[in-house]
A and B are shown apart, each in its own frame.
Chain A
Amino acid sequence: MVGVTVEIVFTTAQWADLQSHLLSLGSPRTAGSADEQMAFIIAGPSASAKGVRLVVRELVLAEPGDLARRSSAGIAPTGEFVAAALTRCRQEGWSLIEVHSHPFSDGPATTFSGIDWANDREKMPALARLLPGNAVHATMVVGQSSLDAHYYDRETNTIRPVSRIVVHGARGNAPVLEWIYPVHAEADGKVFLDEARHTRQMSFMGSSAQAAMVQSAVVIVGLGGLGSFAALECAHLGIGTLVLVDPDRVETSNLNRLIAVTDADVGRAKVEVYADLVRSVSPQAHVIPIKSSILSDEALHLAKQADLLLGCVDSHGARLVLNQFAVQYGMPLIDAGTGIRMNGEQAARAGGQVQLVLPGLGCLECREFIDVKQAAFDLAPPHVRQRELEHGYGTGQPAPSVVFLNGVVGSLQVAASAMLLAYAESAGRGGSIAGITLYDLMRQSVVPASSAASDTCPTCGPDGITGLADLSPLEAAVTPPAAPAVTVGPIQSDA
C-alpha cells in the first residue's frame, strides 16, 4: 500500500464482454477483422490514501452508428456518443474509461500509438474540467494478448500509467482473481521474498504465488475464534499487509478459542493482541489494528485499499455490510462461519462453512445466508436497539464455540485465500477452489459446493449495487440528533 495508484476493476463477465467486443471474438460477421473497435466504461470511483480504484459498473459498447470513423488505422466516436457518456458521468458522478483495440497487436507490448497519445494530451485536460471532482478519466488500449492504460492526474496535469487491471469473478463455477499489468505500469519495486522462512511453502505454491502474497493486503474483520486463526495463518503465509478490524476486548470467556492468547491479554483490545502476535510471527508484515466495527470510517477506508476481505464475524449485520462492500467495491470476500446446534445438552449438529463472494457466484444475500432478523437489529440506530432491548428483544444466550471447530474452518478459509491470491499473478489459472465449502464436524467431512448468481438479487444481480463504490457510501444508521423527524399530517402526498 505504498504510492498513489489507479486500478481498474472488472468482473469476469464484463472483461469477457469487453474483449469479445474489442477483438471481435466469436463474431462470424467480423471474425478476423483488423478494424479497431471502442467502448466507454462507466465506473464508480473508490478513493483512498493508496489511490483510486475504478470499479466498473457498465460497459457502453460502440455500435456502428456510434462511430464517425473506423478502420485498421484508427477509430473515432460520434460527438453524440461521447456526449451521452460524458453527460451521464457529469450528472451521476461516474468515472469514465475510454477503451479501444489494436486487434493487429498480438505481442506482449500493446501500447498507445503516437496518434493516441496526441489525442489524449489534447483531450484529457479538457475532459477533466467537464467531469465531476472525484471522477477519473482513463484510456486503455487492448491487443490480442496485452494492454496498456493511463489516466489523467488533475493535480500534476500529467498522464500517468494505470497500475493494474483486476479481474474477479468466476469462469464456469471456478472462482477467479486475476491481476493484469498494463505494459507501462510502474512496478512497485522488487518484492523481497524471505526464502529461508517460506521455502517449504514456495516449493508447493511457487515463487510467483509467494510474491503475490507478499504484495497483498488482506483485511480480517472479526478477531474471534475464526479470525484469530485467520490472522496468524496469514502471518505465517507471509501476507504483506494485514488490517485487523474488531471493536472488542479479550474476555476470560474468549480464552477457550482465541489461539495463542494468554491470561495476561484479558482486557486488551483483540486487534492489539493479534497485531503483536502477527508481528512476532512475521516481522516484515505491515499490520494495522483498527479497534472499531467495519462500519467505521477508518475501517472502510482501509478496506478499500485491500486485495481481499476475510469475514470472520458472528454478527449478521456485519456480514451484510461485508457482503455489500464486496459487491459495491469489487472486492473479493471470503466469509466463514461456524455453528453448533444443541439438542438439550448434546450437540445435534456442528460445523461451518467458507463462502466466496465473487461476481457470477452469487452473494450471501441471494444465497439467503443472512439472518435478516439479526441483521436488522445489528444495523438499527442506537435508539432503536435500546428500545428493542428494553422490550426484551435482541438478547440471547452466547452461542457454543470450540477451538477445534474454529481451527478447521479458519484454516479452510485461509486455504481458499492463499489459492485465490496465489494464482492472481498467473492469469487466474491453476486454482481449483470451491465457491462454498461445507464442514461437518460430526461426520468429519468437508464437502465442496457450487453456487450461482441470481438475476433477481438486489445486491449482486443486474439491478444491484455492483460498482457503485464511493457514489453510495456505506454508513451506520445514527439516531437523529434533534426534534423528532416524524410529523404526521399534513404531509405532502406522493401518490
Chain B
Amino acid sequence: MAADLSPAGRRKSRLRAELQLLAARYGTVNSDQRDGAWIYVPHFPLPRGWNKREVEILIDVPYGNPGYPHVPPEWFWTDRKLAASDGRPISHFFNQRSQNYRNYADRMYLDKGWGHFCVHLTAWRPAAGLRLREGHTLLSYLDLIATIFRDRRTLAGW
C-alpha cells in the first residue's frame, strides 16, 4: 500500500502503529480518523486514593508540522469529576472554567465533562519510524500519566 506522506497521513500512520501497543495494555483505544489530532483511552485504571477505579483519558496529539511525535503532548483530559478520596485538591488539574470562558478549549471540553491535567515534558526522545520500543511513544506518555496518578505529590499538601 502506498504511503500517505502528507503531515496528517504520516501522523495517522504513526498513531495506527502506536495504538496497537496501547490496545495491548488498555484494551480498546480510539483515535481521530480524520486528522490524527487525538487519541482516546476509555478504560484507564487508577490506583487507590481516587474516587474512581478507572477514568477516560483523552490526549491532544500535536497536529502541526512539526507535530507529533517530534512535539510531545502537553495536556491530557480526564473525567472532570475526578477527585481524591480524601477530598484534597489536585495539583495541575483544571476542572473549572478559566476566567475567560470564551476560551475555545474550555468551551470544547469542560462543557462535555472533561477536566485537564497539565503535564509539561522536559525530556522527550521519540521513537523513530516503527521502532516504537526504542524511544518515547504515547505508551510512554500514558506511563507518565499512571505515575502522576500514583504520585502523592499530585495532591496538594505534599
Q: Which residues of A contact B (CB under 8 A)?
A: 88, 91-93, 295, 320-321, 324, 365, 368, 371-373, 375-377, 379-381, 383-384, 386-388, 390-391, 393, 455-459, 461-464, 468, 471-479, 484-486, 488-489, 491-495
Contact = CB atoms under 8 A, between A and B. Distances in A.
B74 A376 contact: yes
B63 A477 contact: yes
B108 A484 contact: yes
Given A456-B128, A486-B108, A486-B112, 4 more contacts: A372-B71, A458-B135, A488-B40, A494-B19
B112 A387 contact: no
Contacts of A491: 30, 40
A380 B62 contact: yes
A91 B2 contact: yes
Interface string B107-136: 111001000001011111111111100110
A379 B75 CA distance: 14
Contact of A486 (B3, B28, B38, B100): B38
Given A376-B62, A474-B65, A486 B109 contact: yes
Contact of B104 (A386, A472, A489, A494): A386
Contacts of B85: none
14 contacts: A88-B2, A92-B2, A371-B122, A387-B105, A387-B106, A388-B74, A456-B127, A456-B135, A458-B69, A464-B128, A471-B6, A475-B64, A485-B38, A494-B31
B155 interface: no
B43 interface: no
Contacts of A383: 103-105
Main SS of chain B's interface residues? loop
B140 interface: no
Contacts of A391: 94, 98, 118
B67 A477 contact: yes
B32 A381 contact: no
A324 B70 contact: yes
Interface in B47-76: 56, 58, 60, 62-67, 69-75
Contacts of B2: 88, 91-92
B66 A320 contact: yes
A463 B74 contact: no
Contact of B58 (A479, A486, A493): A486
A485 B5 contact: no
A430 to B, nearest CB: 35
A372 B103 contact: no
B67 A379 contact: yes
Nearest to A295: B64
Contacts of B135: 456, 458
Contacts of B148: none
B83 interface: no
Contacts, number: 160
A369 to B, nearest CB: 12
A372 B122 contact: yes
A478 B8 CA distance: 13
B150 interface: no
B20 interface: yes
Contacts of B144: none
Contacts of B28: 493, 495
Nearest to B74: A376
Main SS of chain A's interface residues? loop
Nearest to B125: A368
B64 A476 contact: yes
Contacts of A457: 128
Contact of B56 (A92, A324, A488): A488
Contact of B127 (A368, A458, A484): A458
Contact of B118 (A295, A380, A393, A478): A393
A133 B100 CA distance: 47
Contacts of A463: 128-131
Nearest to A478: B64
A485 B37 contact: yes
Contacts of A468: 5
B39 to A, nearest CB: 9
Nearest to B73: A376
A386 B108 CA distance: 14
B143 interface: no
Nearest to A390: B98
A256 to B, nearest CB: 30
A494 B37 CA distance: 14
Given A493-B30, A495-B19, A495-B22, A373 B38 contact: no
B121 A495 contact: no
Contacts of A486: 32, 38, 58, 108-109, 112
B62 A365 contact: no
B29 A379 contact: no
A372 B124 contact: yes
Given A91-B2, A320-B70, A320-B71, A475 B65 contact: yes
Contacts of A493: 28-30
